[in-house]
């Protein structure tokens, strides 16, 4: 049986109270990243590679990095690992997500990268037109709803509005933002 280290300290800048929702995207915590760089949440060893932009199998340039909430750049050492965000959150919160537990692929740097740039925006750079779903979970780790979002030009305002709506429900403990097309986990937001 695999055990997970509880991670309760955000690795991104704290939520700013001067924003409409007080919400900020959270990268995968460094302690979890250290574990994933060895063995991922599916029990497989990480297999780092150098990202290339020439269409060969190691082509990951432009893919979202979940360790620092930016895109992969050519020449960077990265790994595609299986990550179970709800399972790891539950390990620290005492939640029992049961069948709602899922894992999926995420790109991370092969070595510690220092996390998100504190000067970056509150949400990862997202191109207009990108399709996202904001999945809400309660304190027990159960899905309590979701919302589709086609990212407009003013992505930050759109995420503020969607997250404000999600956290208006007192049952919402956290929100996972995922890509619609592949279901990939992008980032987590916890109740401000």
pLDDT tens for residues 121-132?
A: 788 877 899 999
Q: pLDDT digits over 81-99, tens only?
A: 999 999 999 999 999 999 9
The answer to the question of residue 125 being in a domain is yes
The answer to the question of residue 1 being in a domain is no
For residue 112, the enclosing domain spans: 30-190
The answer to the question of residue 3 being in a domain is no
The answer to the question of residue 9 being in a domain is no
The answer to the question of residue 99 being in a domain is yes
Query: Are the C-beta atoms of residues 80 and 105 closer than 8 Å to each other?
Result: yes
The answer to the question of residue 21 being in a domain is no
The answer to the question of residue 117 being in a domain is yes
Domain count, the chain: 1
Q: What is the DSSP string of 40-62?
A: -TTSPBP--EE-BSSSSTTB-TT
Phi, psi dihedral angles at 77 (to 5 degrees): -85, 120
pLDDT along the chain (192 residues), means of 10: 37 40 87 97 96 75 92 93 96 93 94 85 84 96 96 94 96 95 91 84
The answer to the question of residue 160 being in a domain is yes
């Amino acid at each position: 049986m695999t055990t997970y280290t509880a991670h309760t300290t955000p690795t991104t800048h704290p939520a700013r109270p001067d924003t409409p929702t007080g919400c900020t995207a959270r990268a995968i915590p460094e302690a979890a990243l250290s574990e994933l760089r060895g063995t991922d949440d599916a029990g497989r060893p990480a297999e780092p590679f150098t990202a290339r932009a020439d269409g060969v199998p190691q082509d990951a340039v432009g893919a979202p990095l979940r360790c620092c909430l930016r895109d992969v750049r050519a020449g960077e050492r990265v790994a595609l690992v299986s990550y179970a965000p709800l399972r790891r959150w539950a390990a620290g919160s005492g939640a029992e997500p049961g069948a709602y537990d899922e894992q999926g692929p995420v790109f991370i740097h092969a070595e510690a990268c220092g996390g998100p740039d504190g000067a970056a925006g509150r949400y990862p750079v997202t191109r207009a037109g990108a399709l996202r779903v904001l999945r809400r979970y309660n304190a027990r780790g159960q899905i309590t709803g979701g919302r589709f979002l086609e990212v407009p030009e003013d992505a930050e305002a759109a995420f503020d509005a969607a997250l404000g709506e999600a956290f208006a429900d007192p049952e919402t403990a956290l929100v996972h933002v995922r890509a619609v097309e592949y279901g990939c986990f992008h980032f987590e937001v916890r109740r401000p």
